[in-house]
Amino acid sequence: MTSTDHPADYPGAVLTYGMEYRLPDISVRLPLRVAPGYEEMKPRVHAWARRYLLEYFGENEEEQRRTDSFLRQGMCYWTAACWPDVIPERQFAMMVWGFWGTLSPDDMLSHPATLDDPEILLAVRDEMVDAAECRPRRHSAVELPADVERALSAATRMCRDGQALIAQTCPKPLFARVIRTLQDAIISNADPDRHTGGGARFPTFEAFQQERRVDVFGPWMMAMCEWTIGVDLDGLASTDPDLAQICAWTTDHFTLVNDIYSFPKELAAGEQMNTVWFLMHHEGLSLQQSLDWLADRAALTEQRFTAMRDKILAGPHGHRDDIRLFVRALGQMIAGNVAFHLRTSRYFDTPQPPTIPHTSPEPTVLYRRGTVHNPLPAHD
């Protein structure tokens, strides 16, 4: 076994590469559907994304492999499985969103240079906040390393261009919520304390979970969900107690599933906002106990979701077509997100051709993962 090379106060420092653990069962009862025609749309979406990715990663032979690897993560499948009832005329913009939403706010804010320097992190944050509103780059006074400047230029253009596609079909009040919730998530992800204290700075799981709902772009995804199916609830999803709760549980399920699969990648990157690390630090659980806790909590969250869905449909808003469409769409988000995590290569980068370790009673081994910024060497 080999060390994970983290300081002693890092929540995952007790883990060693080579240790065995078991991926728990995270199957769901909610039905899985995939948007019709997504396979035919995928080459067009990849062509749109590739030009930005090549600028982001670089264009030599090795760097182009990083672009190819990014495209293989299955983001088209993620959007098609999470939002299968998308209005056909919005499907391209939706599938494009899967790429810019992942690269632009998420991967740009976890660039190693931003994790190492709070000044760079905040400069990148400000540029991303502007891009979410389709404003031109401000070019911060902070001097950015050349690779960060190149990546940020591509990421902000990708974000602005992707937002512009959505704006074409999104009513202005709803688009204003899309912008605001995206900016809130960017600001949360760019909090310097997130990259030092991480989950350890939260006194309770409830406080940590509340932050994670914004941190994983939950309110933004709820607004985007309205856009994909062509409804505008005019803020009701956050002001009605039952709708707000079902949206929170949808986001919680996203978080729990993501944290089960993403912790090895985050271990490699030194990131700390993961429920696994929270449980190991605050509750003294082992890695296996933490993963099993997450799976049990995901099952409980799905049960709570289903009960609240039935309550809403039987309640005063249950007669509304837009509410019924929205609530059904939330359940599809849960099922689609699980299906994506069981097949994506995003969290299982290896030098060999990828084999995706689906949920299995057989143990798997903790090995060093590659990340989009620090991929493992190519295997000949």
Distance CA 70, CA 369 (A): 14
Tokens 């299955």, located at residue: 74
Tell me what the mean pLDDT of segment 4-24 comes to. Answer: 83
pLDDT, the chain, mean: 90
Question: What's the whole-model pTM score?
Answer: 0.93
Q: What is the pLDDT of residue 299?
A: 97
Distance CA 35, CA 33 (A): 7
Which of the four pLDDT bands, split at 50, 70 and 90, describes residue 379?
Answer: very low
Q: Is pLDDT at 335 greater than 70 in this prediction? A: yes
Q: What is the pLDDT of residue 350?
A: 47
Tell me what the mean pLDDT of segment 347-361 comes to. Answer: 51
Tally of CB atoms within 10 A around 266 = 22
Tally of CB atoms within 10 A around 268 = 21
Distance CA 143, CA 149 (A): 9
Three-class SS of the chain: CEECCCCCCCCCCCCEECCEECCCCCCCCCCCCCCCCHHHHHHHHHHHHHHHHHHHHCCCHHHHHHHHHHHCCCHHHHHHHHCCCCCHHHHHHHHHHHHHHHHHHHHHHCCHHHHHCHHHHHHHHHHHHHHHCCCCCCCCCCCCCHHHHHHHHHHHHHHHHHHHHHHCCCCHHHHHHHHHHHHHHHHHHCCHHHHCCHHHHCCCHHHHHHHHHHHCCHHHHHHHHHHHHCCCCCCHHHHCHHHHHHHHHHHHHHHHHHHHHHHHHHHHHCCCCCHHHHHHHHHCCCHHHHHHHHHHHHHHHHHHHHHHHHHHHHCCCCCCHHHHHHHHHHHHHHHHHHHHHCCCCCCCCCCCCCCCCCCCCCCEECCCCCCCCCCCCCCC
Tally of CB atoms within 10 A around 155 = 28
Tell me what the mean pLDDT of segment 234-263 comes to. Answer: 96
- Residues 336-347 have pLDDT tens digits of 999 999 888 888
Distance CA 294, CA 212 (A): 14
Confirm if 234 and 173 have CB atoms less than 8 A apart.
yes
Which of the four pLDDT bands, split at 50, 70 and 90, describes residue 308?
Answer: very high
- Residues 359-377 have pLDDT tens digits of 556 788 898 887 788 777 6
Compute CA distances 46 → 54, 60, 91, 221, whole Å. Answer: 12, 19, 14, 22
The two beta strands, 364-365 and 16-17, are: unpaired
